[in-house]
Amino acid sequence: EAGVAQSPRYKIIEKRQSVAFWCNPISGHATLYWYQQILGQGPKLLIQFQNNGVVDDSQLPKDRFSAERLKGVDSTLKIQPAKLEDSAVYLCASSLNYREGGSYEQYFGPGTRLTVT
Amino acid sequence: KQEVTQIPAALSVPEGENLVLNCSFTDSAIYNLQWFRQDPGKGLTSLLLIQSSQREQTSGRLNASLDKSSGRSTLYIAASQPGDSATYLCALPSQEISSGSARQLTFGSGTQLTVLP
């Protein structure tokens, strides 16, 4: 089974530039997550999709960040304009839908390391 | 709001030593708890998932325990090896956002483990 794919793996941009990240989840996984991981911290959720609808984007800085999941499969996360504090690893994860009484597991991609100079 | 703490932030041990990593959480009404491993520049690999009804879970040299009443989980690594060097993160699902959707994870900041040859 192929894992979660992300690209690019690394990106260096100057502040005020824009950048986009791409994620392809595991086939059949309805739920997709974008997490931001700043150095030395645990990942923090930015946005959660179920199919192509947004479940939770309460922690997404909407003045500069946007995300979409067209057709309920691939997703893109965009930052425009970037700030120095956006330097982080951006992780994409996917999971099956929640099942009552069952367990679920999130599968993570390798991440995109963004450096804003 | 669930808060997750991991102590120590960093740990260095000689090869062959048994060790324990700690994770504490503030809200004992949990669904499950996951332990992840993160290698430098890589994504997260799930190690163990403990359901709220379980007390422990084992995989090879790893054993994770869960005590909901005290808000604690431990990850025990037996006979540590240099290949175990990585950052270990614990994570708990949030309260369900909407019926039928999977749950986002709240992470601790991780323990960076170094096993010296």
pLDDT in tens, A50-60: 888 998 899 99
Alpha carbons A95 and A106: distance in angstroms, whole number: 5
Whole-angstrom distance, CA of residue B109 vs CA of residue B11: 14
Query: Could you say which of A4, A97, A111 has the minimum Cβ distance to residue B102?
Result: A97
Chain A closest-CA separation from residue B108 CA (Å): 5
Which amino acid is present at A1? E
Q: Which amino acid is at A64?
A: R
pLDDT value at A112 more than 70: yes
Judged by a CB distance cut-off of 8 A, whether residue B98 touches chain A is yes
Helix (H) / strand (E) element for B107: namely: strand B105-107
Q: Could you give the percent of chain B with pLDDT greater than 70?
A: 93
- What is the per-residue pLDDT for B97? 53
Percent of chain B beyond pLDDT 90? 75
Mean of the pLDDT values across residues B10-27? 96
pLDDT attached to residue B27? 87
Q: Are A93 and A108 in contact (CB under 8 A)?
A: yes
Residue A21: CB atoms within 10 Å? 22
Q: What is the pLDDT of residues A16-39, one digit of tens each?
A: 999 999 999 999 888 899 999 999
Strand ranges across the sheet with B4-7: B4-7, B19-25, B72-77, B62-67, B56-59
Residues of A in contact with B49 (CB under 8 A): 103, 105
Could you tell me the pLDDT band of residue B93, with boundaries at 50, 70 and 90?
Answer: confident
The contact set of A with B (CB < 8 A) is: 4, 6, 30-31, 33, 40-45, 48, 50, 55-56, 91, 93, 95-98, 103-111, 113
Nearest Cα of chain B lies from the Cα of A97 at a distance, in angstroms, of 5
Residue of A98, A110, A113 with shortest CB distance to B103: A98
Closest by Cβ to A55, choosing from B51, B98, B108: B98
pLDDT at A1: 62
- Which pLDDT belongs to residue B102? 63
**In this model, does residue B15 exceed pLDDT 50?**
yes
Mean pLDDT taken over chain B: 91
Contact B37, B88 (CB under 8 A): yes
| Tens of pLDDT, residues A59-109 | 999 999 999 998 889 999 999 999 999 999 999 999 886 654 445 678 899
- pLDDT score recorded for residue B72: 96
Residue found under tokens 């325990």 = B65
Task: Check: CB of residue B106 under 8 Å from CB of residue B97.
Answer: no
User: Which pLDDT belongs to residue A100?
Assistant: 46
Q: Express each pLDDT in B38-86 by its tens digit.
A: 998 788 999 999 988 899 999 999 999 999 999 999 999 999 999 999 9
pLDDT of residue B56: 95
Judge whether A111 and A91 are in contact, CB under 8 Å.
Answer: yes
| A103: nearest CB among B51, B104, B107 | B51
Report how far residue A35's alpha carbon sits from residue B90's, in angstroms, rounded to the nearest whole number.
15
pLDDT of residue A115: 97
The CA distance from A19 to A65, in Å, is: 10
